[in-house]
Structure 1
């Protein structure tokens, strides 16, 4: 039976579908970038544009979505069993909220940016990390402080809202530890990685 779609269209659909599958070795940045060279290309573009080392947004993204393109927060349940909206509007690889994503699109990302597109999501994180440095003086290499900014917002961080959240500081410590591991892994393989694939926008 003849396919209703031409071969190039089928190939593009297949590649796009594969591009949204989380990496098979999410604890190893070298393996992630080898498996998904377009992600490496996007991470390098973010580094050039925002001065953000790849291991920091990648560690934060791992924490936020486990690299799932369509990740969403849990639902509220009315009376314990009736779905009633979501805890927040966060969505996508970076778990960006509606209002923050709108700010990013207006300032840096363009109106066609999408939260379930990896390249757009990591560029968003680069923008946020860069702004955290500018507004709150947190180094772009400081995954601990950057994650607290990301979770609490710039004003919340300045007000030290995280001091009342021991669990959040523990999570930020985990993000810092993962960023350090990712950084060591990346330094060991960066020279052997390519510059990214043709499908860098997925």
Structure 2
């Protein structure tokens, strides 16, 4: 990012930036080849002393180069929703045991066509934005990744009415053990494309209130 070389950010930086979802919002917006959407998280910084590790300078020149901040760079990462596929699941292993002799978890989860199409558009849209903003030397990238390597992963103990197809009920109670509540991300099969922490907190408060009522009525201690 050209310019602003008299500006720095240490001690004066409120945060990075967030671009909320803008695709597939309603019938008026253009439809994509995939379902749902994505947002971006990013930030800007100035190049630092790591540019000097190649030892292109030495002595006084090296010291001065290390102390001077470089040009501005800006980066963004797209966070898209993964659809709640029924065949993406976690089961108990028939063969692998832990140190206490209990079955270990067996994960059978993968990205599918919808996610890969979305990833292509994530790169396309941010490249167009950065180009329109006048940024130079734009380098789009796509790193090899998979479920479980992002943030706030969820699923594995989904909420539902039927004990045969879900783990917890509408109150976050385990169907078979009603005095156990699951309020982390396990009960959610999808989080849209935003951070779900506030939702976890809301469901936790809701479940705690339900548990308190159950205790007061003597249903369990």
| TM-score normalised to structure 1 length | 0.24
Which structure is higher in helix share? 1
Higher relative contact order (CA 8 A, sep 6+): 1
Greater Cα radius of gyration, structure 1 or 2:
2
